[in-house]
Structure 1
């Protein structure tokens, strides 16, 4: 059985330091805390019953608030949920999954029930009505995503602004001068959901900075919607040679639509997607992509929550830097002028 002494040797710290990290009884530097937590993960250490008792009378249950709303892609959400559950079990906590869209009232109901010790909250909007309640609740919480005003909160997310910019910079580096973002369904933008809005900001700002055309359009999940959206996009902006896709369910239909329209990937149109690596890898051609690190984000959210439960300090905002992997779907633009006969300058407009 792995002991605190084993963790201490692996991390290169004193056993008392490991105990303080796990209990939160003393302030430990972020670097040392992270080193100890890495050793806990690597060795599979589990606190024994008496160590758990130090935390006091608790339910050892975390609520995962994941409202399933229009426009959301459930498989992606479940990747985050799986990571939260797996990490919580490593710390001897169970997870209560809440999927109803109950808003602030739901948070208050759960807090008053004494069923859970803490909250992980997903699907965060820029102006999220749950934020004022989270600041006042007696339970600690961590958000996967972050609102416009994140003061006093603990938030973990992918840096979606940087992700959108990375996609643009990658395509521009290949010579593309007219780009489009095929975004989430309209309902996601209308809710001002943080990840979608921040990707759009990163895309638009990078296009303007680089002096290229950047067009954004939402896209619904049906094949007919993808066909109609792409036909309109290419009719209105025939010079587009690069597509950024932030809408995982449409990736397969989009490739079918482009084949139907006689557009080869990457010879006629280059594609970069923001999606899971396994989704990018199984397409033909394999997609250049920025991966969504759902496992790491979920893990970080729970680790931060466990530290807060133990009375420790955590960073208010943790943004995971995006990683772009170039694959077969993005290639160099040819040397011809765009089909419009002229090079369109930087304008961001909705298709």
Structure 2
């Protein structure tokens, strides 16, 4: 096993000089630093994590708080987590994954111990109970998500308000005057989850600007739940010509339901989604969609956190502009409700 002393001998310097280069505690000339770096690479030296933490007062570990809930689309959460992990490694950090729903207790546990140097927080609610503790914590934190009050916080997120607006802006020129929104499961809205609420805000604002009627219905992703919800939508608003979906689990059950009811997409009804690009592109009818830039969100969160740890604090919010990709699921609004819609709606409605 290669030791620090081996590196020092190979580079022709003292062990303390190698230690200073690794910890950054003292200024070392560029020539000496480069010679030590080459020795480290040639010998394959890996600093002992515990010794490195003692020397630098850092663990080189970032805590990722990612509650895994059944009402959220786990693949997107995991894609963000993977981007966090790979980006952290490029900066010399490892990830401590906290998946329990401990809330403020998880923040206190990281803050009150030497578990991690900093925190990345996911599944952010508008009035998140973790926020007071994060604002008071000595360790820096970055939120992947946007609470109602971002004062004193560093946040990275897709601009979900703009994402909702983009969906309406796409459908309005196609002649759609009545749009229904199939949202996340009811529990997501009950928690005040930021991304769902902000998407809805953007949808409603754009609909008002275009003079379009909009109807929002939270929905679980099962076929039975969708049949009931879509049936109720068509009964309440039979002139609905477009559906906006923000629930990845609902995409394929919805398309299957529309086929079963004899509704062609997009000739009879247009469908637009706010979802992972892979889900939209690989759907049985490729969906026009606003993609979730999960990898970019994870990468940017780590980069902001590392910059903070290196003394280059970047407070404030980074909102990633949404991109809408037109595929085969959206088109001009149908002039009249297609034959059979009312019967199909009743069939779905009767399943409740």
TM class by shorter chain equals 0.7 to 0.9
Deviations 1:195-251 (Å, cap 9, x if unpaired)?
000000001111111111100000012221111111111111110001110000110
How far is 1:56 from its partner?
A: 2.4
Alignment of 1:233-244 (within 5 A): 233-244=233-244
Q: Compared with structure 1, are the counterparts of its residues 299 and 241 closer, same or farther at alpha carbon in structure 2 (3 Å cutoff)?
A: same
Counterpart of 1:216?
216
The CA distance in 1 between the partners of 2:337 and 2:188, in whole Å, is 35
Aligned equivalents of 2:284, 2:70: Cα separation in 1? 29
Q: Distance in 1 between matches of 2:160 and 2:252?
A: 22
2: CA distance between counterparts of 1:233 and 1:63? Answer: 43
Normalised by the length of structure 1, the TM-score is: 0.80
Q: How many residues align?
A: 294
Unaligned runs of 5+ in 1: 1-22, 26-47, 341-351
Quote the residue 1:37 is aligned against.
Answer: none
Deviation at 1:335, TM superposition (A): 3.8
How far apart, in 1, do the equivalents of 2:314 and 2:89 lie?
Answer: 20
Superposed CA deviations along residues 111-144 of structure 1, whole A, max 9, x for unmatched, are 2121111000001010111000000111100000
Instruction: Report the Cα distance in structure 2 between the residues aligned to 1:337 and 1:129, rounded to whole angstroms.
Output: 46
Instruction: Report how far residue 313 of structure 1 moved.
Output: 2.5
Paired residues of 1:159 and 1:321 also in contact (CA < 8 A): yes
1:344 is matched with none
**Alignment partner, residue 139 of structure 2:** 139
Does residue 307 in structure 1 map to residue 307 in structure 2? yes
The aligned counterpart of 1:194 is 194
Report the secondary structure of 1:322's partner residue.
coil
Question: Which range moves more in the overlay, 244-253 or 272-281?
Answer: 272-281
Q: Which has the larger radius of gyration?
A: 2
Choose between structure 1 and 2 for higher RCO, CA contacts under 8 A separated by at least 6 residues.
1
Q: Where does 1:8-157 land on structure 2 (aligned, <5 Å)? A: 56-157=56-157
| Distance in 2 between residues matched to 1:150 and 1:142, nearest whole Å | 11
Give the equivalent residue in structure 1 for 2:290.
290
Compute the TM-score of the two structures, normalised by the length of structure 2: 0.80
What CA distance in whole angstroms lies between the structure 1 residues aligned with 2:147 and 2:96?
A: 23
Once the two structures are superposed, the pairs formed by residues 264-275 of structure 1 within 5 Å of their partners are 264-275=264-275
User: Structure 1 runs of 4+ off > 2 angstroms?
Assistant: 52-57, 334-340
1:324 CA displacement: 0.2
State the secondary structure of the residue aligned to 2:333.
coil
Across the aligned residues of Structure 1 and Structure 2, the Cα RMSD in angstroms comes to 2.2
- 2:250 maps to 250
Matched, 1:159 2:154: no
